[in-house]
Amino acid sequence: MGIEEIVEQALKDGYLTPAMEAEVGKICDSSSELSLEEYMSLDRLMGALLEGEVVSMPRKQFINVMEELVLSCAIARVAEIEQTSDRTLDIGDIAAYALNRLPPLYATTEKGAAYQRQRAKEELHNLIESQVNSAIDCNLDRPGSIGELIGTQSKSGEITNQISSLLQSHATNYEQTENNHTENLVK
């Protein structure tokens, strides 16, 4: 959508959305020179904004207090675990797992966020800890990276046997197919 279309839409609707404003900004930033029509449209928009014919919709900032609470809890628990073991846990994975199982607590002001924090401490503290602990348990149950697996199992050759078994179970006809393909190429 060009500047003229955006301005016409804003004049028709009576408001300029943040998306419309961003699009106009992007066009102005990317264009080396605006046309006379684009300048005139921008001038019309400025006049309409100054006169109150068009209202600029503010960008609304949302705070999800649950994210703060889950991250705080996860960081504390992960620090405890990492001090007493050689495991490295992914806080992002843990937080995402827990957040997907908890209700969001959105606020638009600091006063609202303070209310949500207090409410969560009173009503949801145990649930938050429970979900973070479940996330950590799930993360601990996952095997580490392939490098960690090879490093811990390479002495016994167990990893090679596991990979071989996996390939055999998933590609039972590989040898036959490969040999048939080679024979067909030779013919």
Per-residue pLDDT tens digits for 72-94: 999 999 988 888 888 888 889 99
Confidence of residue 143 (pLDDT cuts 50, 70, 90): low
Please indicate, yes or no, if residue 173 is contained in any of the structural domains: no
Q: Is the pLDDT of residue 133 over 90?
A: yes
Domain count, the chain: 2
Is 102 within 8 Å of 66 (Cβ atoms)? yes
Strand pairing class (106-107; 15-16)? unpaired
Confidence of residue 62 (pLDDT cuts 50, 70, 90): confident
Based on the fold, state whether residues 116 and 75 are members of the same structural domain: yes
Q: Is the pLDDT of residue 117 over 80?
A: yes
Please indicate, yes or no, if residue 160 is contained in any of the structural domains: no
Cα end-to-end span (Å), the chain:
60
Range of the domain at 120: 63-145
Please indicate, yes or no, if residue 35 is contained in any of the structural domains: yes
CA distance 16 to 159: 60
Is 70 within 8 Å of 98 (Cβ atoms)? yes
Confidence of residue 172 (pLDDT cuts 50, 70, 90): low
Predicted pLDDT at 114? 92
